[in-house]
Structure formats: C-alpha cells, structure tokens
Amino acid sequence: MDTVVIAVANQKGGVGKTTIAMNMAAGLARRGSCIVVDSDPQGSATLWTKLSGSPSRFPVEVILAEDKLNKQIARLQTEFDYIVIDCPPEIKSGSIMSVMSLSQVLLVPLLPSPMDLWASTRIEELIKRVQKKNPKILAFILLNQIEPRSAMSRGMDGALQEINIPVLRHRLGRRASYRTAALEGCSVFDLGYRGRVASEEIDGVIDEVLGS
C-alpha cells in the first residue's frame, strides 16, 4: 500500500484542526503505522502528547516539522502507512505548499458559524492554489462541532452548496469527549465508553476519506 499523506489545514485558526489531526491519526494507527508531523508554530500536537505524562498514552508518535519539510515527508513515506500533517493557520510558505504536492488528501475543518462561512471563499482560494500544484489531491471540507438542534448547523449544507468544494457526509459533533481527550493527552479511542460516539465519528471520516 502506498503511503497516504493527509494534510489538515485552514486559513482560519480555532476550527479544531489539531483535534481532528490527532484523533484521525489515532484512528489510522489502528489500521497501520502512522505518524503526525506538527508544522503549526503553536506546537499544539506536540503539547497534546506531553499532557498525558506518559509517552505510551498517545498511540502515535508526533514529530516537529523540519525546515525542509518536503524532504522530511518524502523520507517518512518510506517508513509509514499514514502521515498526518497538522498545518499552520496560514498556508503561505513555500515549504508547506511543497508538502501539498506530496499529499493525497487535504482536509479543511469548518465550524457552523457565520464567520467561518464568510471565510469559505478563502478556503476555496486555498484549495485552488493547492490543486494547481497537485491536481490529484483530494480536498474536502469537514464540518466540525455540529449541533443537530442548532439552526446554523442545520443550514450549513445549504450554505455550502454555493461553494465548489466537496463536503464530507460524515461530520463531527460538538462533544465533551474531544475536549477530554485533549486535556488527558490521549485520543477519543482511549476513553472507552466516554469516547464511543466520537470514535465512531472519526472512523466514519477515515472510511469516507480513504474510500474516495
């Protein structure tokens, strides 16, 4: 099997990018070897693993991005089945854009909020830039922190029809288990019954992405 490289990115911060990257990596690690590359200057993914106080608590190794990130990813492709890249909020550097040429999937988290919808044009511009560099990359919007009873959440699908970006059928709910996993330095898969529904959501996203 060829290595699948998944870049999780958005031009806007605070959309749950690291939460998605870490939990997807934990889910992928149940299917093969996986590693997370932390390329966000805030180092949130790296901090996540330190919160548990035990290196064995989080099931996936997290490493910092190197200056020559494209060469680092190329090297990791010979060692792992899956590579998840937690990208910085601004995808402007040549290093990050060059990584997109090695990625099979670009996952763009989006929250059900007016601000995020207004920023969706920037997301579309980001994807167009990436696809110029890598026409084969599959780009998806992943709706995050969805609340079924919220009118805004219910209206997201209709609003996104005006944007020419595929939206994953599976989405992630607004759940305490995602926050708990971050605080405990683990994944939702490690929370047992507390993380059961969230784990099913993450598995659904992985199945849809890998099956595309």
pLDDT digits (tens, 9 = 90+) for 112-157: 776 666 666 677 777 788 888 888 889 898 999 888 766 655 666 6
| Per-residue model confidence (pLDDT) at position 113 | 72
Q: Which residue from 58, 38, 81 is spatially nearest to 184, judged by alpha carbons?
A: 58
Question: Mean per-residue pLDDT for 41-61?
Answer: 81
Long-range contacts from 173-181, C-beta under 8 angstroms, 24+ separation: 173/145, 173/146, 173/147, 173/148, 173/197, 173/198, 173/201, 174/145, 174/146, 174/147, 178/16, 178/19, 178/23, 181/19, 181/22, 181/23
| Per-residue model confidence (pLDDT) at position 58 | 86
| Per-residue model confidence (pLDDT) at position 131 | 84
Cross-strand bridge partners of residue 108 = 141
Residue 49, pLDDT > 70, answer yes
| Per-residue model confidence (pLDDT) at position 134 | 87
Number of Cβ within 10 Å of residue 202's Cβ equals 25
Quickly state the pLDDT bin for 14 (edges 50, 70, 90): confident
Task: Tell me the pTM.
Answer: 0.90
198 alpha-carbon distance from chain centroid: 15
How is residue 152 written in tokens?
A: 């805004």
Quickly state the pLDDT bin for 196 (edges 50, 70, 90): very high
Domains of the chain are 4-210 (3.40.50.300)
